[in-house]
Amino acid sequence: MMTANKRRALYYPFHLCHEQTLAHLLNDYASVHFRDYMALQLTKMSGTTAYADRMGDAHKDLVESGRIVQGHSVSGPLDDDMMEAVNRDLGDATWRARLHRALIDDRRFQRGLFEVTHGMLIGSTLVAGPAAWLRLIEAQREIRPYSVEHLQMLSRGRLDLDEGYDYEYAFALVKTSAALHYTIRLAIRHEVEAVTDSHAHYDLLELIRLRDRLTFQHRCVERAGY
């Protein structure tokens, strides 16, 4: 086992973390790795916009000393292996149920996927946030079949309101799963311990690890008072 000053962490599932989480990780690990913002390309004409900010922007001394390691790319189209892995999650009833429950119960998990404080554009319709949220967490979505290919199909056309809700929910599933599988890739490739401060993401990644019989280390650190 590595001694404390040799251990290296990969923060997941986001490209930034809270300053107190960073302090906690730097206390426990010799270095902390961060991915860049995950901008997924669904088709040639659709996807999410990348943001250039990095954790080290406000900690240049930590980057220079090697305590923060950044620049791991997780953007672009999903390759075949990633699509297969994501579809495996989307077809796993236990994983889907855990994610849907987190959407309902975990406010921080919700905010990472949907901004419902104000209005949401669902398809081509602007819907009040609370009303949109009630539609997104309908029980039928937990068991409705989704796949990367289905999301790509939805992204190509003009959507009515019902299709718009399907698109938003499917995209949330795909983004969450892809972020976790990129975590697995990076953790194994760089021989680092995957660490999060999100219980929901930890639980979802642990389900994948056990189901797929993967051997990598990951842990969840507690957020206390922030």
**Distance from C-alpha of 136 to C-alpha of 74, rounded to nearest angstrom:** 26
Count how many residues are written for the chain. Answer: 226
Q: How far apart are the first and last CA of the chain?
A: 31
Q: Which pLDDT value is given to residue 50?
A: 63
Q: Which two tokens stand for residue 203?
A: 């639980």
Per the listing, tokens 């953790």 go with 187
Q: Report the chain's mean pLDDT, rounded to a whole number.
A: 93
Q: Provide the pLDDT confidence category of residue 225 given band limits of 50, 70 and 90.
A: confident
Q: Provide the pLDDT confidence category of residue 5 given band limits of 50, 70 and 90.
A: low
Q: Which pLDDT value is given to residue 45?
A: 63
Q: Provide the pLDDT confidence category of residue 221 given band limits of 50, 70 and 90.
A: very high
Q: Which pLDDT value is given to residue 46?
A: 72
Q: Which pLDDT value is given to residue 112?
A: 92
How confident is the model over 58-67, as pLDDT tens digits? 999 999 999 9
**Distance from C-alpha of 46 to C-alpha of 158, rounded to nearest angstrom:** 12
Q: Which pLDDT value is given to residue 180?
A: 98
Please tell me the least confidently modeled range out of 30-39, 46-55, 192-201: 46-55
Which residues are paired to 200 by β-bridges? Answer: none
Contacts of 211 (CB under 8 A, 6+ apart): 92, 95
Mean pLDDT, rounded, for 2-16: 83
Q: Which two tokens stand for residue 4?
A: 């404390």
Which DSSP helix (H) or strand (E) runs through 143? helix 139-143
Query: Could you tell me the domains of the chain?
Result: 4-77+186-220 (3.40.50), 81-175 (no CATH)
Could you tell me the pTM of the whole model?
Answer: 0.93
Bridge-based pairing of strands 40-43 and 76-77 is parallel
Instruction: Judge whether residue 33 has pLDDT over 70.
Output: yes
How confident is the model over 41-92, as pLDDT tens digits? 887 667 676 677 999 999 999 999 999 999 999 999 999 999 999 999 999 9
Please tell me the least confidently modeled range out of 4-13, 56-65, 147-156, 182-191: 4-13
How confident is the model over 119-161, as pLDDT tens digits? 999 998 999 999 999 999 999 999 999 999 999 999 988 899 9
Highest mean pLDDT of the ranges 29-43, 109-123, 197-211: 197-211
Mean pLDDT, rounded, for 194-211: 98
